[in-house]
Structure 1
Amino acid sequence: MRFISKVQSLLAFPRNKFQKCQQALSSTMSQKSLDISGIYPPLSTPYNKDESIAFDKLEHNLQKWNQIPFKGYVVQGSNAEWCFQSWEERVQVVREVAKLAAPGKLILAGSGCESTRETIRMGKEMAEAGAHALLVVNPFYFKDGMTSDALVAHFTAVADQSFVPIVIYNVPRNTGMNIPVDAIVRMAQHPNIIGIKDSGGDITRIASIVFATSSFDFQVLAGSAGFLLAAYNVGCVGGICALANVIGEEVCKLADLAQSGDSKAARDLQLRLVGPNSCVTSRFGVPGLKTAMEWFGYYGGPTRSPLQPLSDTNIQAMKAEFQKSQFL
């Protein structure tokens, strides 16, 4: 039935997209083998002063990021301010990053929407735009209705209709809820759901997910550089880390050290990353991330309204954290 459903979706797809999607369909049975291990920056979206997307600045940033040993890029994750973008903008940014990324870089595109129908449709557009996999945040507006059964039904429908693999995105700080572990274990058995990014920071929970899904060829990614070493120690295969936008080489170095057996060097670097990481995530958010990017030669630029720029006081506090950790 899943095969028939995919074929029906293809027949309804624009004719000029049929060949590419047909090729993706033929590889459906092997999509579990897509290796997503490694480090990914969840790219920020550069805006001009008028809040239009600055695609020239995106190219500038990618020229620098392409020199860092990232496994790939997450496009339209939380740091992209995707919730402030139109449908067309979300897809267009994926298309541009796919064009500008260095050869071999994986593109994970944030395609989550509140409804199952729109998530499926967005995923098809992003796959056509060049995404190798989709990062799908759970619906959360009607939290009380998002039971394990509802979430499993949602992600199953999305995965059944997707031409590329699905990575679940758990980000309780933004959604106000954790995807239940029992639901994750059920979804991990789907042939087209290959992993999860967990940004909650509860290492016990992450360890339980790794253990419970170990027989399903399911890959777990840490959602922050602040607990990256601990995540590797319990079996995660990589991380999607906001701090990698700013000091990507150091985040990649920590990943290497975590797998090298040099526990002291790994621990020392992890401790240095904690303060700066909190500045560009929970403490100052996207405005903090964009401010820090400017210090390291990237274009950060303004946020989109209603997000506001950092105050001078917060900028100085953030700079002090980077200096204390010897990154400035």
Structure 2
Amino acid sequence: MMLKGSSTKMLLLLKSSATSVPKTFIQSTCITYCRKMSSIPKLDLGGIYPPIPTPFDDKEEINFAALESNVKKWKQLPFRGFVVHGSNGEYTYQTPEEKVEVVRKLRSWVSEDKLIIAGAGCESTRDTIRMSQAMAGAGADAVLVVTPFYYKNSMTSDALCNHFTQVADNSPVPVLLYTVPAFTTIDMSVESVVTLAKHPKIIGIKESSGNVIKIGHIINKTKNEDFQVLGGSASYLLQSAVVGAVGGVCALANVLGEDVCRLHELIKAGNLDASAELQRRLIAPNLAVTSKFGVPGLKFALDKFGYYGGKPRSPLMPLGKEQQELLLNDFKEDGFLK
């Protein structure tokens, strides 16, 4: 694993308040995570991460055999790691115990050089801290914390900064901020991100607003901090890299992982013409599995590309026949399907 050394506080012991959490949480957070080190390492986040979907069986239980089968195929690709329990993982539909078990299984399947970034965001600060500790105990290298949004009118800059600071203060592993206003309607200000970037355990952000100007502004304002930005979509991987993003968390990478990784390598090599051409071709397929057809579209595409997608968990519904044809056409028109 590539690390960036930076002195931070001693790893925090799990707090006694965790006794009110289900037994599985206590077990997961206590598992051999008291490492013999005086600081939390900074991770080199550079690269591509698929935000992996969660497969379900006909009874809507997590299908771990299908997930393992998918992971075996993804392991053959040059991903920097995996994001689990992001928006594409249907994390809002899972119990805390399910979330922890998915991370535990994933850690047992992938080598230590592959980073596991686990979604730990909850609506309350208290629950987010507990989930972060649980994810660390299950083997996550870092946690991805989405902005709370239910009481959106009260989510001021002060409230958000206080929330993320408390989470980082109590997380055993590094924290990544996660802004996805398409789902939360909360778009953190540049100023808030810059303030939080000064925290020694907040090491980066997954920026999914689609605003490349904002991404560039954040990168410029945090250039003196040990802080990294990941673009949140394959639709603007090139554009975000041009302004300084170190990689991307791309739903399309679950399906076209080789192509998304190739785009990242072309960008790193400075091949602008080839990068731009591939970037343009990836836009329509990416939109098909994100904003156009969402998680049901991504799961349908997985089935078509030799992975297990299956049905989403209710209330999400599988794509209808007409939607399926539209999605397939988006892949065919740019040469990714015959």
TM-score of the two chains, using structure 1 as the length reference: 0.95
Matched, 1:274 2:283: yes
CA distance in 2, matches of 1:5, 1:261: 39
Partner of 2:167: 158
How far residue 217 of structure 1 moved from its aligned partner, in angstroms, is 1.3
Q: Which moved more, 1:11-20 or 1:240-249?
A: 11-20
1:108 to 108, 114, 117: 117
Relative to structure 1, is the Cα distance of residues 273 and 121 closer, same or farther in structure 2, using a 3 angstrom cutoff?
Answer: same
Partner of 2:224: 215
Task: Give the SS at the match of 1:74.
Answer: strand
1:6 to 12, 29, 34: 12
- Do the aligned partners of 2:176 and 2:202 also contact (CA within 8 Å) in 1? yes
Task: Give the SS at the match of 2:143.
Answer: strand
Partner of 2:59: 50
Partner of 2:87: 78
Matched, 1:287 2:293: no
- Report 1:187-202 matches (<5 A): 187-202=196-211
Higher helix share: 1
CA distance in 2, matches of 1:236, 1:197: 10
Q: What residue ranges of structure 2 are gaps of 5+ in the alignment?
A: 1-7, 20-25
Relative to structure 1, is the Cα distance of residues 212 and 21 closer, same or farther in structure 2, using a 3 angstrom cutoff?
Answer: same
How far residue 286 of structure 1 moved from its aligned partner, in angstroms, is 0.2
CA distance in 1, matches of 2:123, 2:234: 27
Matched, 1:171 2:180: yes
CA distance in 2, matches of 1:10, 1:262: 53
Task: Give the SS at the match of 1:23.
Answer: coil
CA distance in 2, matches of 1:19, 1:293: 33
- Do the aligned partners of 2:212 and 2:240 also contact (CA within 8 Å) in 1? yes
Relative to structure 1, is the Cα distance of residues 11 and 4 closer, same or farther in structure 2, using a 3 angstrom cutoff?
Answer: farther
How far residue 53 of structure 1 moved from its aligned partner, in angstroms, is 0.5
How far residue 21 of structure 1 moved from its aligned partner, in angstroms, is 3.2
- List per-residue Cα deviations over 1:225-279 (Å, max 9, x = no partner): 0000000000000000000000101000000111111111000100010000000
- List per-residue Cα deviations over 1:143-162 (Å, max 9, x = no partner): 11111111110000000001
Task: Give the SS at the match of 2:153.
Answer: helix
How far residue 23 of structure 1 moved from its aligned partner, in angstroms, is 1.2
How far residue 18 of structure 1 moved from its aligned partner, in angstroms, is 5.5
How far residue 27 of structure 1 moved from its aligned partner, in angstroms, is 2.3
- Do the aligned partners of 1:25 and 1:163 also contact (CA within 8 Å) in 2? no
- Do the aligned partners of 2:49 and 2:83 also contact (CA within 8 Å) in 1? yes
Q: Over aligned residues, Cα RMSD in angstroms?
A: 1.9
TM-score of the two chains, using structure 2 as the length reference: 0.92
2:260 to 251, 255, 274: 251
How far residue 103 of structure 1 moved from its aligned partner, in angstroms, is 4.1
Equivalent residue letter for 2:67: L
- List per-residue Cα deviations over 1:10-52 (Å, max 9, x = no partner): 8978699658333176323xx3x31111100000000001101
1:21 to 25, 29, 33: 33
CA distance in 2, matches of 1:5, 1:117: 18
Task: Give the SS at the match of 2:319.
Answer: coil
CA distance in 2, matches of 1:16, 1:88: 9
Q: Which moved more, 1:14-23 or 1:257-266?
A: 14-23
Task: Give the SS at the match of 2:117.
Answer: strand
How far residue 8 of structure 1 moved from its aligned partner, in angstroms, is 6.7
Q: What residue ranges of structure 1 are gaps of 5+ in the alignment?
A: none
Partner of 1:321: 330
- Do the aligned partners of 1:228 and 1:270 also contact (CA within 8 Å) in 2? yes
Equivalent residue letter for 1:298: Y
Partner of 1:298: 307
CA distance in 1, matches of 2:43, 2:125: 24
How many residues are aligned here? 324
- Do the aligned partners of 1:291 and 1:300 also contact (CA within 8 Å) in 2? yes
- Do the aligned partners of 2:29 and 2:133 also contact (CA within 8 Å) in 1? no
CA distance in 2, matches of 1:73, 1:19: 21
